[in-house]
Structure 1
């Protein structure tokens, strides 16, 4: 009987080495001077002392997220160059709504069989988004697990770490009746609602990623892989300019109806005007296919709203003026804080 080695069991160490060789230089291009270890270390080391001297009472802010079943669309398209961007945006948006500046990202990529070219595409997307938003991609893990994942499957998860001055954290304190709900629009589904979207488009309607629906400008695959927008730069710009943002919510899994209440104090609710922020065509296609009512749509999808900010009405003009430096991030007034019990009312 011949010997059975690791490769025969389905794990190719040489493929892993090739993947590292392909991505090493790109990953290191994201490093700030605070990063002390590169790819190959047992752990990521980040020098906090010089950074923390800029803060009176620094608080680390961390979050973990993934891209969910959007990865399945990438697999169908055999296009993985934007899925890494989605991971950076999903995690960064989760901590900037607390007022935190993102510092580092750790990634985890798992699959049944390691393909260095696919890993390179994924990482290059992460690198591009990290460089754009001054985030160090300090390392991660690539796991090849045949039998755990079906052939061709990938999972992508990231852990982001940021920092905020303790007394400047944005936690929803001070939100009161009459405050304005301002929103940055989304670019599409972002990374939420894909399980329902895939079922409606591919199972119910019988479409595929190459289908060109008359209501959409591009193929379904292209529309579904539209990168998740990252709001780090405009949000940090607003905070640096002392715009009195009382609360923020990233509209992710749970949609508009479930995410905004997370930041509302007792006695407050919000009214959202359905048509105040453009509803993208893909949502109308999904609504018609599933015969879905507003409650289901706004609980599952972002409906064109990527991130909301709650500001005093007197600060709206200053907010708009500060955002003039970011013309690609339009902002819409979509509602008001009203008296109520921490819920969202669509009007």
Structure 2
């Protein structure tokens, strides 16, 4: 009779999964907030919309980290990609005026390394703290043969709420409004297939001495892996204090692909490239990759991770509020009437 087989023989270690859950629970506990009725451990997590909302509308978003994970694998740095995961979803729902309430994650791998997974989830918990939302559940999937050893994939899911009367849909954006740009922390989680191609062509990989060069006070490796900035708390503060007519998260599609998502068809955003300094990371990528300006603007955030559109008379107050909240921000353009079939966003 053949020897008895176990799940572990097939490549799935239930004990490792249980050990990870034990490591995760205190991390998730730090993110608890009003509304959580039951979190990690059950078949489903329970959340009650805070009673301060009179007409709450739920806003949901989902995203991943993309091929930035390949950079994390190459550098063997796993403590910040969880922040990226949270940021990509909460920044998306923020642009509709939503306060992120809770977050769920999905971690998939071929063989579960508890230490690596705990670092990743630690980053997710940190991202939730920065966004003010609760990490109330998730899934860890160990799937032998699906992923190479040492690699994993991530997906995240955020749910937020906004008062029905305060939903931002771009309908209030008007000619004469000003465009404010909030600084990014780097490439965030977009364009990394091109980033990796440029690095490979310039240096052959991520483990060369050139990776230690100084980029705005950071090594190149640090600049590449820097987590996506989470704009939730300063932008929610701005929404409470001043009229904001539109918000755009500068994610996949870059500056010229995302600002139009909050503009009526008859309007155009004119952005002035001399209004902010493109960080040295992007300057290096453009130079080494010989990337055209138009391609830079539709692939990367180029130093602007979030855009706010406000009445012209509110610019100074908005900039002051953002600076007081710790953000670097500039007036980077204005909204004008669109002529014919001209692009809805231009960088001039």
2:270 aligned counterpart, secondary structure: strand
1:56: how far off? 2.5
Give the whole-Å Cα distance in 2 for the aligned partners of 1:186 and 1:345: 19
* Residue of structure 2 in register with 1:304 after alignment: 303
* Residue of structure 2 in register with 1:46 after alignment: 47
* Residue of structure 2 in register with 1:21 after alignment: 22
Q: 1:6 to 1:47 in 2, by over 3 A?
A: same
* Residue of structure 2 in register with 1:144 after alignment: 142
* Residue of structure 2 in register with 1:153 after alignment: 151
2:185 aligned counterpart, secondary structure: coil
Give the whole-Å Cα distance in 2 for the aligned partners of 1:35 and 1:284: 44
Could you tell me whether the CA contact under 8 Å between 1:209 and 1:220 is conserved in 2?
A: no
Give the whole-Å Cα distance in 2 for the aligned partners of 1:323 and 1:293: 31
Could you tell me whether the CA contact under 8 Å between 2:130 and 2:230 is conserved in 1?
A: no
1:210: how far off? 4.7
Paired residues, what number? 342
Q: TM-score, normalised by structure 1?
A: 0.94
* Residue of structure 1 in register with 2:180 after alignment: 182
1:215: how far off? 5.9
Could you tell me whether the CA contact under 8 Å between 1:18 and 1:116 is conserved in 2?
A: yes
1:319: how far off? 1.2
* Residue of structure 2 in register with 1:332 after alignment: 330
1:275 aligned counterpart, secondary structure: helix
Could you tell me whether the CA contact under 8 Å between 2:323 and 2:329 is conserved in 1?
A: no
1:196 aligned counterpart, secondary structure: helix
Q: Which runs of 5+ in 2 are unaligned?
A: none
RMSD of equivalent CA atoms: 1.5
Taking the TM superposition and a 5 Å limit, the aligned residue runs for 1:161-310 are 161-212=159-210, 214=213, 216=215, 217-241=217-241, 243-310=242-309
2:84 to 76, 83, 86: 86
1:324: how far off? 4.5
Give the whole-Å Cα distance in 2 for the aligned partners of 1:160 and 1:25: 20
Give the whole-Å Cα distance in 2 for the aligned partners of 1:275 and 1:109: 41
Q: Which runs of 5+ in 1 are unaligned?
A: none
